[in-house]
Copies of this chain bind each other. A is one copy, B any other.
Amino acid sequence: MTSLRSVVAAALRFGKASPAVPTALDFERLREEIADCINGRGGDVATRARAAAVGSRYTAFPKAAKLRFLEMLSAFDVDRGAVDGALAAVTADDVVVRRAAERRLRIALIPARVRMLRAFNGPSGGVKFLVEMRADLLEILKATPGLQPLDDDLKELLASWFDVGFLVMRRITWDAPASLLEKLGRYEAVHEVRGWSDLKNRLDADRRCFAFMHPAMPDEPIIFVEVALTLEMTSGMVPLLDQKAPVTDPRLATTAVFYSISNCQRGLDGIGFGNALIKRVVHGLAAEFPHLRTFVTLSPIPRFREWVELKSEVKWAWSRDMATASMLREPLMQLCAHYLLEAKRGTRAFDPVAHFHLSNGARLERLNWLADTSVKGMRESGGIMANYLYRLDQIDDNAAAYASDGRVTAGQAVSALIAQPRRSA
């Protein structure tokens, strides 16, 4: 019998084993170890140590072996017999009997593999392992949809453990560890970080950067947001990314511009943190800077072009010629307002960024022409960007209106665009 000491030792090496293609026999042993973990053989401490050793081997697997492992794990499903046994009593007339039966049935309906997933949470980094395993799984899932139930379980478990109440908001400054800042640079998903001086500029005295951290993954940001403290609602990225722009005295700032928000962990996809982060930042900044009145985003419109092409069946090609671009301004701005206000999938906004802010209760305040002239910005939305406004006294109503029937609250400037008669081309 493997001694506890040796499996614990193995656990401490979590993720450091050398990669190797496992044999059929290896898989057979892994299946036995999974079964042992699920049955809790040797007690809880031994089970977690065993799970850590399994996890350590998994981490070193090549992709094909990972797929096979996940399929093997997925096969530890609901115990049909137990379910059938519990089903009978659920229809009992007696309430107390029925309540107990419901509970028994619910537990019987938890697939056995969930016990394995929980066992990975040991003293040496198991949560991070699960997040990384889910990142693998999401990749594998594209070609292997049969693993969807395993992903459902894993997502449900992570959603409970990464409950927003457990996240700690941390301000990130230039005094943060270089290793953490390096990760921010890598995870930034909206406006690419072009080196350390760009990053430093984004952490200047008139900027704020806040991240959610989780105690079980102390070195890994979960999500972060970048904010500029300014004297007016910013209409484009240029002053924000200009490393030589003068620094505003933050105590005088009236406006906080949320110009970038990035999720960091692929393995936490679909578990929403952004709403909570934005609102906690808004409250924190409002308390720190009494002159702040306006909380607004400067956001991309990532699927505008895709939607235009979809609807018009023409390819979209931007002119580099300013005269042409200038001529396009009015019709494109109108079209974009139409897109953001009315393009839907069911009651959801077609544009994912719009959906995010609208469901948070923000108002579509303004559109900005040639606001993001990066290659990505031009390709996705012709350089147009949107300001979404967060007014604390209105977000509940806005969110409720959007949630019930997809109604978009828009500012004057946007409404005006759509009210205009379209000019003939």
* A residues lining the B interface (CB < 8 Å): 1, 3-5, 8, 41-46, 48, 77-78, 83, 87, 90, 99-100, 102-103, 105-106, 109-110, 118, 120-123, 126-127, 149, 152, 160-161, 163-166, 168-169, 174-182, 196, 200, 215-216, 272, 275-276, 279-280, 283, 359-361, 392-393, 395-397, 399-400, 403
Contacts and interface: CB of A to CB of B under 8 A. Distances in A.
A121 B122 CA distance: 23
B5 A392 contact: yes
Contacts of A174: 177-179, 182
Contact of A276 (B44, B120, B152): B44
Max chain B Cβ within 10 angstroms of own Cβ: one of A45, A196, A280, A396: A45
Contacts of A103: 109, 149, 152
Interface majority SS on A: helix, strand, loop or mixed? helix
Contact of A42 (B78, B152, B276, B400): B400
24 contacts: A4-B279, A4-B395, A41-B400, A42-B361, A43-B396, A43-B403, A45-B279, A78-B99, A78-B102, A83-B90, A100-B149, A102-B109, A103-B152, A105-B105, A118-B163, A123-B169, A160-B160, A161-B161, A161-B163, A161-B166, A165-B216, A174-B178, A174-B179, A178-B178
Contacts of A149: 99-100, 103
Max chain B Cβ within 10 angstroms of own Cβ: one of A41, A175, A178, A361: A178
Contacts of A178: 174-178, 181, 196, 200
Contacts of A361: 42-43
